[in-house]
Amino acid sequence: MSRACLLSIGNELLCGQTVDTNAAWLSGRLFEVGVQTISVQLVPDETAEIVEALRQAVRRADFVLVTGGLGPTDDDLTREALAEYLGVELVYHPELGEKIEAFFTSRGMTMPRSNRVQATIPQGAEPIDNPRGTAPGVLYETENTLIALMPGVPGEMKAMFENAVMPRICQRLKGPTVRSVNLRCFGAGESTIAEMLGHRMQRGRNPLVNCTVSEGIITLQIVASGSSSLEAEQVLNTEREELEKILGPLVFGSGEDTLQDVVGRLLRSQHKTLVTAESCTGGLIGKLITDVPGSSDYYICGWITYGNQAKIHQLKVPPEVIERFGAVSEATARAMAEGAAQQSGADCVISITGIAGPGGGTEQKPVGLVYIGIQDEGQCRVHRCHFANAGRASVRLRATQTALNLLRRELTI
């Protein structure tokens, strides 16, 4: 497999001002064509640092992709650093100077003198056209390595990479074809899933299975390689089927699917409508459901009945239910769901009442205790959940995801 090192240049990346998203984007694009990114380094605007980073990167990688530091100001030093690393001069290219000047003219502006420096590139290197900005890129190839300098502005970088750098990379590629797919899972922890998969998660295997967790959702990425795309796809599909068999209903989707995407598709295909009745989640379920474009096809409305009076007045929860069992109880979750169904005529209801914290917990009803009502086809089941008290935001998010997952399971039985 070919290897890449990425360098992201700029002081703003090293003082918390800017999150570098270029490296993740580039490594994703490289991965898709079978190039493995073995290192990403964020480097300050200092020539010596950039030269040293280039030296180490060229030693290790087939492709060295550098973003940032091509601007016109004194702290833009990437061109200079490449020239110093190569031991050559920076050469002024009149045709590049004219292009940069034309860029300003086309916008009715005069080119500041400082931009002239952007038309200088190291001797022996090739300029890359920048259709979106003033800074040309720089390409330098030897037998072993391709070095590309690109602007740090994501839009300019991406256009330049796709137009000029990616084609050159593909020309130089060696090694097998790679295919990958994501399986999205909910309902078990990372370590439980790892135990279920056992040897399948071992490193160095083909196919490879990577596991990442983000906001409670587990993504298993299957990466398969083969000598042809057909072979890689066969390896991929066999592994995918195996994983889906082992994990069963823990797998809720693929690609970038969210729980609300999947619930929405199920509701739409079954011609069912949904309403929500939320207490402790305060609107988060409604928000997630309506994150999905077109959710008005199945989502009618929601109630955020935060106080007891709101539960009584808006959802017709009998006051004696709250008095006898408390606002956080199976009976109240059930009454909320039934009230919401009656008032809206919806097919499905999600109701939630619980203690999100940090205050409000008791020994009998601690922070993290949540009752979730799921109504479908006239039947309401209430689930009692106890989420770890890992902070208010975490309890609310997990309660919401669990509710969406319970409805998904209900709709797929």
How many whole angstroms separate alpha carbon 136 and alpha carbon 276? 53
How many whole angstroms separate alpha carbon 260 and alpha carbon 405? 9
Q: Identify the residue among 40, 90, 331, 380 touching a second copy (CB under 8 A).
A: 40
Smallest gap from Cβ 64 to a second copy, in A, equals: 15
Q: Rounded to 5 degrees, what angle do the CA atoms 66, 69, 72 make?
A: 145
Query: What does residue 352 show for φ and ψ, rounded to 5 degrees?
Result: -140, 130
Smallest gap from Cβ 157 to a second copy, in A, equals: 13
> Could you say whether residue 319 binds a second copy (CB under 8 A)?
no
Contact letters (x/-) for a second copy, 146-185, by CB under 8 A? Answer: -------x-x------------------------------
Structural contact between residues 372 and 351, judged by C-beta atoms closer than 8 angstroms: yes
145/343 with CB nearer a second copy: 343
171/296 with CB nearer a second copy: 296
DSSP string, 321-358: HHHHH-SSSHHHHHHHHHHHHHHH--SEEEEEEE--SS
> Could you say whether residue 31 binds a second copy (CB under 8 A)?
yes
- In the region spanning residues 103 to 142, those forming contacts with a second copy, defined by CB under 8 A, are 103, 106-109, 112-115, 132-133
Q: Rounded to 5 degrees, what angle do the CA atoms 343, 332, 344 make?
A: 10
Structural contact between residues 141 and 195, judged by C-beta atoms closer than 8 angstroms: no
Structural contact between residues 183 and 193, judged by C-beta atoms closer than 8 angstroms: no
Q: Which range in 81-89, 228-236, 289-297, 330-338 contacts a second copy by CB under 8 A? A: 289-297
State the number of binding residues for a second copy (CB under 8 A): 109
How many whole angstroms separate alpha carbon 361 and alpha carbon 355? 7
> Could you say whether residue 276 binds a second copy (CB under 8 A)?
yes
- In the region spanning residues 345 to 384, those forming contacts with a second copy, defined by CB under 8 A, are 357-359
Contact letters (x/-) for a second copy, 381-400, by CB under 8 A? Answer: -----xxx-xxxxx------
- In the region spanning residues 233 to 262, those forming contacts with a second copy, defined by CB under 8 A, are none
By residue count, the chain amounts to: 413
44/127 with CB nearer a second copy: 44
Provide the b/e sequence for 169-204 (b: ≥16 CB within 10 Å).
Answer: beeeeeebbbbbbbbbbbbeeeeebbeebeebbeee
Smallest gap from Cβ 381 to a second copy, in A, equals: 19
> Could you say whether residue 14 binds a second copy (CB under 8 A)?
yes
> Could you say whether residue 73 binds a second copy (CB under 8 A)?
yes
Give residue 330's identity as a one-letter amino acid code.
E
Q: Identify the residue among 29, 179, 240, 408 touching a second copy (CB under 8 A).
A: 29
Q: Identify the residue among 88, 166, 173, 201 touching a second copy (CB under 8 A).
A: 201
Give residue 245's identity as a one-letter amino acid code.
K
Q: Which range in 18-26, 90-98, 167-175, 237-245 contacts a second copy by CB under 8 A? A: 18-26
Query: What does residue 201 show for φ and ψ, rounded to 5 degrees?
Result: -95, 5
Smallest gap from Cβ 124 to a second copy, in A, equals: 27
Structural contact between residues 309 and 246, judged by C-beta atoms closer than 8 angstroms: no
> Could you say whether residue 36 binds a second copy (CB under 8 A)?
yes
